[in-house]
Structures are given as C-alpha cells and as structure tokens.
Amino acid sequence: MLFADEEFDHETVTFGRDEKRGLNAIVAIHNRSRGPAIGGCRMMAYPDETSALTDVLRLSRGMTYKCAIADIPFGGGKAVIIGDPSTQKTRDLLHAMGDFVEQLGGRYITSFDSGTSLEDIRVISERTDHVGGIQPGSGNVSSSTAYGVFVCMQEAVRLRLGAESLDGLVIAIQGAGNVGSRLAKLVAKDGGHIVVAHIDESQARKVASETGGDYAQNNRILETDSDVFAPCALGGILTEETAWNLSSPVSCGGANNQLSEDAVADALKQRDIFYCPDYLVNAGGIIDLHYQLNEPSRDPLGRHLDSLGQTLRECYEYTKTHARSMVQATNRVAESRIQ
Ligand code: NAD
C-alpha cells in the first residue's frame, strides 16, 4: 500500500503535462472547506513520478493543517514540477505551469517553494492571476515568518520556564538564512543571547557579530548549552537520537517538518522538552500571503501574527486534558477548524 488511508483523503489530484514546453507537474488539492487551496510550487529532480506524487500529497495535506492553525480562509494545496530546477527550468515551462494553474479556475493558488523563486512566480503570473507572494509592496514574507517564530518563542519560554521575555536567555539558532538571521535580530532586541550555526561559518560569524552573540560549529549546535533551540535550516533535524542529545528545554524554530517522525514528539516530551510544532510556529509566512491577497492594507497583519502565541498556549492547554504531546494537540486543534 502506497499511502495510509488518512493521508489519502484529498479532494483532487491533477496531472499537468505539456511535452512541447517540458512540463510534467502535479497539483494536489487536499481540502477547501476553509477557502481556495494555497501552497507553494516545488521543483525537484524526483527520481520517479511516485516520489513526486507522495511528496505533493503529503505537502498539500500539511498546508490544510497550516492554514487552519493560522486561522486564514484558505485550504491546503501544493504543486510539484518534476525536473531539475538548475537545468530544466525555462520561461516556456513556467508559462506552461501558469496555464496549468489557470485551468484549475482559482481552486488552487500557487507561490514559491524549494526550486522556485519569486521571479519564477512572476513569470507564472504572466499566465494566471492565481498566484501569491508577488503583490506590490509585500516584501519578503520571511520577516513575518521570523516574527511568528519569535512570538511563539516568547510564549514557549513563558509556559516552560516562567520567563516573561527572552532577556538573559540563550537561544541556539541552526541556520542563519532568511528566517534564522531575522529571528536572531528580534531575539537580540528582546535581550536574548544568540548562539548561531550555519553551514557556511562566515555567515554564522556575520549574524553573531550583528547581534552581539556567538557562533557555534554546525555539528555542535544541538548540544550547545541553551534555553531554546531554534531549528531554522532543514527538516528532519529532530530524530529519536538527536532528541536525546538536545540540551535545551524548549525547541521552537522556523524549519518545516522538523521531526523525522511524529513519534519523536513523545521522546521530547519524556525528556520534558517543550516542542513547538513547526507548522504552527512558522505560519507567519502564509498569514502574510493571506494579507497580500485579501487585505492589501496589511494593518491587521501584526495582530494576526501575535495571535500565534495564543494559539500555542491553547494547544498547550489541550495537552493537559486531551493529548499526549504538543504535536497531537496542535493537530486536534487544527482538525477542529477543518470540516
Ligand atoms: P534559507 O535557505 O534562506 O536558510 C536556511 C539556511 O540554512 C541556508 O542558508 C542553508 O545553507 C543553511 N543550512 C542548511 N543546512 C544546514 C545545517 N545543517 N546547519 C546549519 N545551516 C544549514 O531558508 P529560509 O527561507 O530561511 O527557511 C528556513 C526553513 O524555514 C526552511 O525549512 C523553510 O522550509 C522554513 N520556512 C521558511 C519560511 C519563509 O518564510 N522563508 C516559511 C515557512 C517555513
């Protein structure tokens, strides 16, 4: 069996092929009970179509949960283009993708993801209006993502450590890219001491010096003595093994799919590590997209991002009576908002 039943509860899966323009793509729409499906367009050299299908089904389902927990009027969708973005991405292919999205009649709204850039989405938008992330004056959504992570971190240290702010706490950040470097500045402004690691040590040094913090070797960041671990690089960083090596009582970061499997949440709980579920913590970017698409004034954006902290607290309260871990609690809260 390819998929567990509960993972295969999608509304539609559509294949888009255009041999002439080199497009081989799939769009999965998981659930539209809250509104049109939204989710990035990933381009990757998948080994075969089954891997691409598995990815798009999993990612679109994740988007339904993310939109629900973020409380925005969108459902979950995702697109994948099968192909190597460094060699196979052409203007023609992106136009074919735009035509494919347009054929879906607004049921799916696309944006950028791994292997596609804002510039690519601009090219796609020459063929369809159903795109997000390129609205004039919108800036980089990573700022909103980082702010959402920061708000959740403040709430997490309140709940787990009884701390009123990050003042005097040590925050270990893995990955100083778009999200991690912005998060570092917010944390430092709140009085937190940064320890940052990056695959390229010069980038870690730069962010450390800008924030008055320190840098650590990339392979030592999990064991760094800290109050909060903030994974802001790759997914799958928290495994059964790393969960036992983690020295921080709180884990709260922007990376997607941080747990190698859901069972790792139980290992973290056993060690009394307060794990903040990634799709809640990093929902700031999708909330920003909602305001770009639906509320050009953007006035309520800050308040909406602040509400992520309250949602985290709500999920925490839920664990006291109804759930065995923060992951399970967050899933249940999200499901209560999906029909
Ligand atoms: P990014 O590529 O700008 O930054 C990540 C950085 O981490 C890269 O520079 C990379 O070189 C570095 N890196 C990779 N492996 C590493 C390792 N093992 N240790 C240390 N550094 C490593 O990406 P980003 O936009 O900052 O996103 C970071 C994470 O947050 C990703 O998982 C992304 O999917 C997720 N996310 C981002 C947004 C957003 O708005 N950018 C929104 C939601 C989720």
Chunk the chain into consecutive blocks of 10 residues (it has 339) and report each block's average pLDDT, rounded to whole numbers: 63 98 98 97 97 95 97 98 98 98 98 93 97 83 96 98 98 97 98 97 97 94 96 93 93 95 92 96 96 86 97 96 90 94
Of the candidates 279, 261, 282, 250, which has an alpha carbon nearest to the alpha carbon of residue 180? 282
pTM of the entire predicted model: 0.94
Cα angle for residues 197, 201, 206 (degrees, 5° grid): 85
- At position 7, the amino acid (one-letter code) is E
Q: What is the pLDDT of residue 6?
A: 61
Q: pLDDT for 16-33, tens place per residue?
A: 999 999 999 999 999 999
Q: What is the pLDDT of residue 296?
A: 75
Q: pLDDT for 125-163, tens place per residue?
A: 999 999 998 887 777 899 999 999 999 999 999 999 999
Q: How far is CA 141 from the centre of its chain?
A: 11
Residues with CB under 6 A from ligand 1: 141-142, 145, 174-175, 177-180, 197-199, 218, 232-235, 254-256, 282, 285
172 contacts: CB under 8 Å, gap ≥ 6: 195, 196, 197, 216, 221, 222, 224, 226, 228, 229, 230, 248
Minimal-distance CA residue to ligand 1 atom 9: 177
